[in-house]
């Protein structure tokens, strides 16, 4: 099996490439990435064919897709705040880029897996986000991910393309760096805490997320490729855990064996209060996958940051935080 991973130099992509290259049935892994948010160092020691380029380049896509039996489409302009700054750029990469990829796939019809996001649910009030809920994205990023999954599923129906659209929730783990203004919460907490600095919390810290370890995500993706799994509706890729940011900080504090201070900041526009997956469809389709627990996943993440402090110091947060409201020690 030959697999093309778009966005394979990114956080999830590079973890997936590691999992794919460890499998005997995978003959070759090709990565297409423009390195806009990804990092070639993420693929150090991983045997992939790396192509630097964009999913917006039609000819390049056609050539790479023609050689692939499966395509995992992860390339995107990620993050809600980034999309608030430049909605058109998010649309171009996430919506138009996905359409380009699907067009390239029409000729040879590889198995296509696309990455959507829990942000498509927006402010849906139900505590468990199940796949049949109406979509109410709160941000241009969320809207662009609605387009990603809708185009993929429509190409499945219209052109008999074997497709699977996953809605990732808050994925965390090794290779997710905290070196930019849009860093996700887990790498930010780990990076700050490891250096004895207060962790930032936007809002009151009672907002909850369904944190999913990247190894569990990669396991599901590899199994989906192996079984050429398809589905006519999107599938949540999270296991239904509810973790508030305050609890995340407490578990991290236990893992590190020391207290962590918190800096509270004003809530951010587009931030969702509760984001917890209903995992029933995922468990039905992938009954053998057992998620890595939060403390175990945080241990692996901390270990990566400790090693990255030596080999890749830029993985850490190195930006001044916005003005603080208050600092609560040892919350």
Ligand X SMILES: NC(=O)c1ccc[n+]([C@@H]2O[C@H](COP(=O)([O-])OP(=O)(O)OC[C@H]3O[C@@H](n4cnc5c(N)ncnc54)[C@H](O)[C@@H]3O)[C@@H](O)[C@H]2O)c1
Task: Please identify, using beta-carbon distances, which residue of 40 and 303 lies nearer to ligand X.
Answer: 40
Is 234 a binding residue for ligand X by CB under 6 A? The answer is: no
Site map 100..119 versus ligand X, x via CB under 6 A: ---------------x-x--
Smallest distance, ligand X to C-beta of residue 5, A:
10
Smallest distance, ligand X to C-beta of residue 259, A:
27
E runs forming strands in the chain? 2-6, 28-33, 49-52, 70-73, 111-117, 163-168, 170-172, 199-202, 208-209, 211-213, 235-237, 243-244, 262-265, 274-275, 326-328
Comparing CA positions, the residue from 60, 66, 71 lying closest to residue 3 is 71
Asked if 48 and 15 count as a contact pair (C-beta separation under 8 A), the reply is no
Q: How far apart are CA 49 and CA 8, in angstroms?
A: 10
Asked if 74 and 6 count as a contact pair (C-beta separation under 8 A), the reply is yes
Q: How many binding residues for ligand X (CB under 6 A)?
A: 30
Asked if 201 and 239 count as a contact pair (C-beta separation under 8 A), the reply is no
Interacting positions 46-65 with ligand X (CB under 6 A): 54-56
Q: Which of 121, 141, 151, 155 is catalytic?
A: 141
Task: Please identify, using beta-carbon distances, which residue of 151 and 168 lies nearer to ligand X.
Answer: 168
Task: Please identify, using beta-carbon distances, which residue of 61 and 198 lies nearer to ligand X.
Answer: 61
Out of 26, 80, 93, 235, which residue is the one contacting ligand X (CB under 6 A)?
93
Q: Which parts of 180-330 fold into alpha helices (H)?
A: 185-194, 214-227, 245-256, 280-285, 294-311
- Which span sits near ligand X by CB under 6 A: 1-9, 190-198, 241-249, 256-264? 1-9
Out of 17, 19, 43, 74, which residue is the one contacting ligand X (CB under 6 A)?
74
Task: Please identify, using beta-carbon distances, which residue of 36 and 231 lies nearer to ligand X.
Answer: 36
- Which span sits near ligand X by CB under 6 A: 8-16, 197-205, 224-232, 291-299? 8-16
Residue 145: both structure tokens together: 């991910």
Out of 11, 239, 264, 305, which residue is the one contacting ligand X (CB under 6 A)?
11
Interacting positions 165-224 with ligand X (CB under 6 A): 168, 170-171, 184
Residue 163: both structure tokens together: 């497709």
- Is residue 214 packed enough to be buried (19+ CB in 10 Å), middle (13-18) or exposed (0-12)? buried
Task: Please identify, using beta-carbon distances, which residue of 171 and 281 lies nearer to ligand X.
Answer: 171
Rounded to 5 degrees, what are φ and ψ at 268? -100, 145
CA within 13 Å, CB half, 310:
4
Going from the C-alpha of 278 to that of each of 119, 212, 216, the distances in angstroms are 14, 13, 16
Task: Please identify, using beta-carbon distances, which residue of 138 and 331 lies nearer to ligand X.
Answer: 138
Site map 14..43 versus ligand X, x via CB under 6 A: ------------------xxxxxxx-----
Report CA Rg, the chain.
19
Smallest distance, ligand X to C-beta of residue 61, A:
9
Asked if 237 and 220 count as a contact pair (C-beta separation under 8 A), the reply is yes
Smallest distance, ligand X to C-beta of residue 257, A:
27
Determine whether 141 is an active site residue: yes
Is 78 a binding residue for ligand X by CB under 6 A? The answer is: yes
Question: Under DSSP, is residue 326 helix (H, G, I), strand (E, B) or coil?
Answer: strand
Task: Please identify, using beta-carbon distances, which residue of 198 and 277 lies nearer to ligand X.
Answer: 277
Out of 7, 156, 200, 279, which residue is the one contacting ligand X (CB under 6 A)?
7
The catalytic site residues sit at: 141
Positions touching ligand X (CB under 6 A) are 6-7, 9-13, 32-38, 54-56, 74-78, 93, 97, 115, 117, 168, 170-171, 184
């Amino acid at each position: 099996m030959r697999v093309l991973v778009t966005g394979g130099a990114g956080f999830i992509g590079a973890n997936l490439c590691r999992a794919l290259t460890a499998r005997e049935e995978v003959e070759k892994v090709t990565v297409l990435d423009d390195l806009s948010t990804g990092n070639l160092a993420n693929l150090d020691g991983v045997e992939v064919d790396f192509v630097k380029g964009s999913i917006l380049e039609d000819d390049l896509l056609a050539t790479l897709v023609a050689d692939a039996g499966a395509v995992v489409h992860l390339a995107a302009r990620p993050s809600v705040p980034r999309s608030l700054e430049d909605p058109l750029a998010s649309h171009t990469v996430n919506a138009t880029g996905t359409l380009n990829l699907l067009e390239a796939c029409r000729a040879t019809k590889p198995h296509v897996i696309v990455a959507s996001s829990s942000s498509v649910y927006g402010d849906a009030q139900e505590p468990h986000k199940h796949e049949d809920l109406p979509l109410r994205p709160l941000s241009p990023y969320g809207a662009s991910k609605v387009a990603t999954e809708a185009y993929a599923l429509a190409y499945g129906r219209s052109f008999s393309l074997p497709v699977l659209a996953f809605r990732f929730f808050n994925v965390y783990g090794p290779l997710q760096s905290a070196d930019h203004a849009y860093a996700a919460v887990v790498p930010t907490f780990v990076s700050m805490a490891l250096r004895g600095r207060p962790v930032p919390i936007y809002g009151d810290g009672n907002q909850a997320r369904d944190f999913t370890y990247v190894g569990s995500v990669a396991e599901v993706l590899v199994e989906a490729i192996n079984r050429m799994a398809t589905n006519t509706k999107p599938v949540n890729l999270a296991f239904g855990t509810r973790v508030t940011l305050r609890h995340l900080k407490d578990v991290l504090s236990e893992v590190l064996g020391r207290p962590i201070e918190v800096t509270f900041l004003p809530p951010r526009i587009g931030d969702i209060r509760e984001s917890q997956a209903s995992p029933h469809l995922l468990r039905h389709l992938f009954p053998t996958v057992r998620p890595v627990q939060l403390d175990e996943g945080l241990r692996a993440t901390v270990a990566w940051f400790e090693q990255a402090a030596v080999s890749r110091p830029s993985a850490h947060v190195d930006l001044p935080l916005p003005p603080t409201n208050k600092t609560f020690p040892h919350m």
